[in-house]
Structure 1
């Protein structure tokens, strides 16, 4: 069920699921009841209180929402909480989770960082929102995503994105224009003073993970961050 999982600090865990956990998204044509059952099984496996894991309606935007226990589901591409369990779903985009320490406990974030998000600074925006909530010592875990060797794009799109985020400029392993979103994410987080603890492998290169580039009819795996306190 978990591709990678670790307790990253006292009382805080991070995990990324794999295809064994099944599709966790409601927007890909899957049976909604089965998706909700998988989400419940995921909570049970992680030791998260049933029904407390927050998912976003992800729209490739730049909105960062602060989540409280009574906050309704967010239409956003980043969520921040003071310990509330958070999830981000992907199938090639970067599932980024961030952890900082606030005055009253951990401050967490889950970020959907695709090409538009990297281009428009969703990751530094999430880090800034965490700091506004009192977070210090922010660290990041970048889950599996498509790599620069595989993410082929038109030359004009590569040039446009690289104007905003130079580290994204790349070429595929077969020599065509590409974007390296993980490199762009790392450059933005480092510039924002965020230490990167982990970066996952390429989704297209791993049969253990969903990849939209491999198949348009595919599910979504998740990045999770939660507090045990």
Structure 2
């Protein structure tokens, strides 16, 4: 079994699209980061992270990365380049193959695909990005580039049962992103990012949404910032990957 679980692999006019997710399994990191930690910024040994990324790129060559800041900036995916202060990468190859990664450890790794051409996006949706409308901006950008029939895959992330926040934060989130207000399994205020994100996507006409429904806080197969902090450790980062291959000239 490879490092990426490809949950979408389909032909589109002019090429092919794939969308998938890594987990903790594989890789060479140790300690709190044990497994396939892909984040340089979390305190792991840089050589281990570099090796993990090298192993990943055997399955998804030429990955573009983001320096994610919980904002609403988009950039074009460029192989081997880390886009600064960016939370969405558009994958639009003029020829050949292009891919982008979004790193997470509780936030939603959102992968957007179009039905009419090899065009996709990898989007980082935490609470800040949800409230800033980063997903809506990414959908609009795909359509501006000629994408139609946009669909979405929401990968593993913390769920509303586990994402505890102060009451004021929950109320603010629900005011800006309806559907965000929730309650934890232990009865305290929480935010349900996946549920609110599905509503945001629907408001932009994205009707085909696949929600994997895996909670990172509950499932140790994935890195979770909140779970690691509760245990006095640090979390690595796993990734969602959007890949587009163009087999005809743009």
CA contact (8 A) 1:2 1:15 kept: no
Please report the RMSD computed on the Cα atoms of aligned residues, expressed in angstroms: 1.7
- Other-structure match for 2:17: 12
- Give TM-score scaled by structure 1 length: 0.91
Inter-partner Cα distance in structure 2 for 1:201 and 1:3: 16
**Structure 1: segments with no counterpart, 5+ residues:** none
- Match of residue 136, structure 2, among 109, 119, 124: 124
- Match of residue 142, structure 1, among 131, 151, 154: 154
- Other-structure match for 2:110: 96
Aligned counterparts, 1:15-94, within 5 A: 15-21=20-26, 22-44=36-58, 46=59, 48-49=60-61, 52-68=62-78, 72-75=81-84, 76-83=86-93, 84-94=98-108
Inter-partner Cα distance in structure 2 for 1:100 and 1:176: 38
CA contact (8 A) 1:124 1:192 kept: yes
Per-residue Cα deviation, 1:96-141 (whole angstroms, up to 9, x for no partner): 1111145xx3111000000000111110111011111111011111
- Other-structure match for 2:121: 109
The CA deviation at 1:68 is 4.7
- Give TM-score scaled by structure 2 length: 0.84
Instruction: Extract structure 1 runs of 4+ deviating beyond 6 A.
Output: none
